[in-house]
Amino acid sequence: AQTVTQSQPEMSVQEAETVTLSCTYDTSESNYYLFWYKQPPSRQMILVIRQEAYKQQNATENRFSVNFQKAAKSFSLKISDSQLGDTAMYFCAFIGGTSYGKLTFGQGTILTVHP
């Protein structure tokens, strides 16, 4: 079974600074996909970024980028130029190539951006 671990329950950052959220996972599959989702106080789950395991290049999406270390099974999210609107719960998620829709989530990290 796949597991996803987020070891930082809470983090905080000053506006305009950079913060990195950690995520590790465990799987025996060679083909899989990793995601970061954001859940603001409105509770709407929003996709932040997606990474395919077969791609060596780290995914980027505007101010959001990942550091994907396949051998270490690590998938961290870097948020640059943090904004107040980035305040949310962030979930790391995994789906295996043979999982047929079974998305496995980590416990989440609450990120607070301070003015």
Partner 1 sequence: ETGVTQTPRHLVMGMTNKKSLKCEQHLGHNAMYWYKQSAKKPLELMFVYNFKEQTENNSVPSRFSPECPNSSHLFLHLHTLQPEDSALYLCASSQAQGGGGGTDTQYFGPGTRLTVL
Which parts of this chain interact with partner 1 (CB under 8 A)? 4, 32-33, 35, 37, 42-47, 50, 91, 95-97, 99-108
Instruction: Report helix, strand or coil for 86.
Output: helix
Considering the complex, state which of residue 50 and residue 78 has its C-beta at the smaller distance from partner 1.
50
Which of 17, 40 has the CB closer to partner 1?
Answer: 40
Backbone dihedral region for residue 29 (phi beyond 0: left; psi -120 to 50: alpha; all else: beta): beta
Q: How far is the CB of 18 from partner 1 (least distance, A)?
A: 25
Shortest Å distance, C-beta 74 to partner 1: 18
* Residues in contact with 73: Cβ distance below 8 Å, sequence separation at least 6, in sequence order: 24, 25, 26, 27
Residue 9 Cβ vs partner 1, minimum distance, rounded to whole Å: 10
Answer for the pair 31, 25: CB distance below 8 angstroms, yes or no: no
Q: Which is nearer to partner 1, 19 or 108 (CB)?
A: 108
Nearest to 25 by CA among 88, 81, 95: 95
> Could you tell me the two tokens for 52?
């395919």
Considering the complex, state which of residue 13 and residue 89 has its C-beta at the smaller distance from partner 1.
Answer: 89
